[in-house]
Structure 1
Amino acid sequence: MATDSTENTTETTDGAEPTVAGLAGRNADLLRFATAGSVDDGKSTLIGRLLLDSKSIFEDQLEAVEATSASKGYDYTDLALLTDGLRSEREQGITIDVAYRYFATPSRKFIIADTPGHVQYTRNMVTGASTADLGLVLVDARQGLTEQSRRHAVILSLLRVPHLVLAVNKMDLVDFSQEVYEKIHAEFTQFATKLNIPDLEVIPISALNGDNVVTRSESMAWYSGPTLMHHLEHVHVASDRDLVDVRFPVQYVVRPKSDQHHDYRGYAGQVAGGVLKPGDEVVVLPSGMTSTIEGIDLFDREVEEAFPPMSVTVRLADDVDVSRGDMIARVKNAPQPSQDIDAMVCWMTTTPLKPRQKLAIKHTTRTARALVKDIQYRLDVNSLHRDQETKELGVNEIGRVQLRTTVPLLCDPYAQNRTTGSFILIDEATGVTVGAGMINSGT
């Protein structure tokens, strides 16, 4: 069995992230990244290569993949089999669901969301990339930029993923041509000027052979930039999180029943923004009651400060009424409660989204009901054209929507805080998540 800090490749195929033992270690530097690109660009093979070259797979897994590859008559090891976990994925040779993997190097720990490339699974790609620190878009060097490559870059931009890597894959099939690489580099850089991409790196690779993935390629001596692994290990993500505006959505009230801790009362949740310290004056919303932080606890110890994305229990000096769905913030820097929400929504079900539709909305730890007041436009993620004549949003479509909620939401613009600026929409009859939203503003 693998240790809690290195080798394990547990996957989930139901769209939920795995529980990773030891992943939130005391000194761990964690990077979440999502892969994207057109069908057959080599996303699953690249993830397999990263797992293999970082020694993050078990010997029996590798032996099984080698045996399966040989049974299919391949003269190489099909590394995509390490990540395409669904039977239908293996049969079709494509990624359908979001497969989460994790591995570690001495420098950093990683969570990978291997997202599908096909247009009909755009919603899955949105789900996988919504929590990513970095987006990894693959293109086939033989095909160059495709419509789907641009689509995924646009979606990553809408999701405000702060770092983007364009991996020009299958360079071995174009004889490691610098001219091909430079052409794709220039074309994508030109396209990226229309998007909100703060940090862009373009790396030529061969996922199948491992060129410039973990080790530098001798076949591309003309390339002087970092290998993919080096870039993933050293890209700086700590400053991407909002460390100014304190946001602590309360998930659970901790009241132990043991005699030893009968006076203990804490409020558990994940820090969504800012830095919390004992002695800080805070306000509990929506009640408006104020108090000071008495202490901050992890599961096994007390800490002197908490910051995103730490999960902690906060103790207050005063007995104020706090429950799930409330938010703890700084007195002079609190979010404004909003019932009228202007947001970009990705619709995820075959039944269209229409005005006057009623849905449940879940924002941080608060759940309410919402009415669709208006659909302002549908965004064509290929051309960035805004179709203002549309009256509905179909499956996998993204549009600007006006919502009215039954209770005020304690939200921020998505550009400011990706946690308090996002929400999901739920069909009340079935309990199915039907949409994901990114807040532009609220009033």
Structure 2
Amino acid sequence: MENNVYELQYAMDTFYFLVCGALVMWMAAGFAMLEAGLVRAKNTTEILTKNVALYAISCTMYMVCGYAIMYGGGYFLSGITEVDAASVLADFAGREDGFQGGSIYSGASDFFFQVVFVATAMSIVSGAVAERMKLWAFLAFAVVMTAFIYPMEGNWTWGGGSVFGLYSLGDDFGFSDFAGSGIVHMAGAAAALAGVLLLGARKGKYGPNGEVRAIPGANLPLATLGTFILWMGWFGFNGGSVLKLGDIANANAVAVVFTNTNAAAAGGLIGALLLAYVLFRKADLTMALNGALAGLVAITAEPSTPTPFVATLIGMVGGVIVVLSILTLDKLKIDDPVGAISVHGVVGLFGLMVVPVTNGDTTFGGQLVGAITIFVWVFVASAVVWGLLKVIMGLRVTEEEEYEGVDLAECGMEAYPEFTNK
């Protein structure tokens, strides 16, 4: 009977991991649609190519070495594809807590859940450098980001490793990032910021006197669809990070996380929409979409402890912050076509720093140490890689290619060939 209990728990937790991983994988489609909607028509094919290729690269490189760096395991390098049920059950022999114990699940399901996270981090970069970066330079960076840069900071946090031989952030500093506001989202934004600073702004984005010129996206229905897909996928992102479903306490925790995730997204959209109306006297759809995503990023660091009302407020503040951040970055002439640095970076930092408000096991100091460690490592390492790529192969397409659109220059085909409007 005892073995049957553990087998059922193993099956349930493994299945839950896989389903949540599939939801997070679907976020790749959300990023692709969102970014394709927010760039100009002449750059659509290239941004779609980036998104589908970076997902494949992320899966491959994380399998080759990223997972081992982050968690110290060689499961996939060993070629083991079968699990000895007897050995799994032996690990839990003598326990009397049954479903009340810790998570037990397949190592393969853990890898699958983790690999879609690294793909999410890399997806953040593609939108920020859109419309002027060389495709192959971007893909070369994706190899290093997913094989080494992201796994290293993941090792210091979720992996329980040390920070350059000093201490584990989680154990020694009281740092907590439930599902990755900093570890995934701020990290992706830090890599994007390093690339954008070396790359420069799109031609025509800023006038000679510093004025900001809006460059509208080609397909706002597609951007809206992408946002809804991301919103849906986020339930797996945050919900799966509970790591278990098979007992009353954890099942309730999953329900709380789902509820708070949804509440924060709604609050973020409302906050951004209202502030945009106050500032522009218009209901700005793109700000509203980014507000929803900002709410999701803000709650990701700790979706299990707030009440739904507090989660809504956290999301709402995130939505306000993202509007102000997008406007500020434009004033600084940091050109981010989709607002990724603001959504995932600035609001990701806010998400980390608001955790102690509802989670008494953390401190503001610990959260700040974690945030600084993640940002500095990813930004500096990414800047080095971007710099090398700039020297070796160049980062930016030619001015003529940028004017004609990178679809033709990089991919040889247009997404909307029947339309001539660029």
Give the TM-score category using the shorter length.
Answer: under 0.3
**Higher helix proportion (structure 1 or 2):** 2
**Greater RCO between the two (CA within 8 Å, min separation 6)?**
2
Structure showing greater radius of gyration is: 1
Structure with greater proportional strand content: 1
